[in-house]
Amino acid sequence: MIEETIFSKIIKHETSADVLYQDELVTAFRDIFPKAPVHILIVPNILISTVNEVKYEHEQILGRMFTVAAKIAIEENIKDDGYRLVVNCNKNAGQEIYHIHMHLLGGTLLGPML
């Protein structure tokens, strides 16, 4: 099991990132390779490698990820036009960093999912 990721370093402020939000459960920061005008990653502050490792005790963290997404959508002025939330799980879904994270994408017409 991986114990440290680039996200872990961002959470602990050991590497730089444009952090928009942080509390005891989650951290949100701008993606360094944005796929939309607004592309923000929301990550749990504890390492959960994939959705497959999510447990009952993680429900509060996962819920906070959604409430933070809604808060940031307002702050980024994309709430009314719409935005997409994406969580990838494992290689075939496109997960590149094995620390679960939610992509908040918006600021343009995103088109169909696939």
Range list of β-strands (E), the chain: 19-22, 26-30, 38-44, 83-86, 102-106
For the residues 42-47, what does the mean pLDDT come to?
97
Tokens 């997404």 -> residue: 69
Give the global pTM.
0.95
pLDDT over 90 (residue 113)? no
pLDDT over 90 (residue 2)? no
Taking domain 6-106, whether its CATH number is 3.30.428.10 is answered by yes
Catalogue the active-site residues: 101
Amino acid 14: pLDDT: 95
Amino acid 9: pLDDT: 96
Tell me the residue type at 96: E
pLDDT over 70 (residue 114)? no
- Segment 51-79, tens digit of pLDDT: 999 999 999 999 999 999 999 999 999 99
In the chain, where are the structural domains located? 6-106
77: left (phi over 0), alpha (psi -120 to 50) or beta: left
Tokens of 70: 């809604």
pLDDT over 60 (residue 1)? no
Tokens of 93: 């879904």
